[in-house]
Amino acid sequence: MDEFNASKPIYLQLADRINRQIVSKELKAGEKLPSVRDMGIKYSVNPNTIQRTYSELEREGILETKRGQGTFVTEQEDRLVQLRDNLKHEQILLFVQVMQEMGYSSLEIISGLKDHLKFDIGDE
> Where along the sequence are the contacts to another protein (CB under 8 A)?
4, 6-11, 37, 40-41, 43-49, 52
Query: Which residue, 11 or 54, is less far from another protein as judged by CB?
Result: 11
Query: Which residue, 51 or 82, is less far from another protein as judged by CB?
Result: 51
Query: Which residue, 54 or 73, is less far from another protein as judged by CB?
Result: 54
For the CB of residue 4, give the shortest distance to another protein in the complex, in Å.
6
Question: Please, is 15 exposed, middle or buried when counting C-beta atoms within 10 Å of its C-beta (0-12, 13-18, 19+)?
Answer: buried
For the CB of residue 58, give the shortest distance to another protein in the complex, in Å.
18
Cα 73 to Cα 92: distance, rounded to the nearest angstrom: 25
**CB under 8 Å to 108, separation ≥6 — which residues?**
99
Cα 114 to Cα 83: distance, rounded to the nearest angstrom: 25
For the CB of residue 1, give the shortest distance to another protein in the complex, in Å.
13
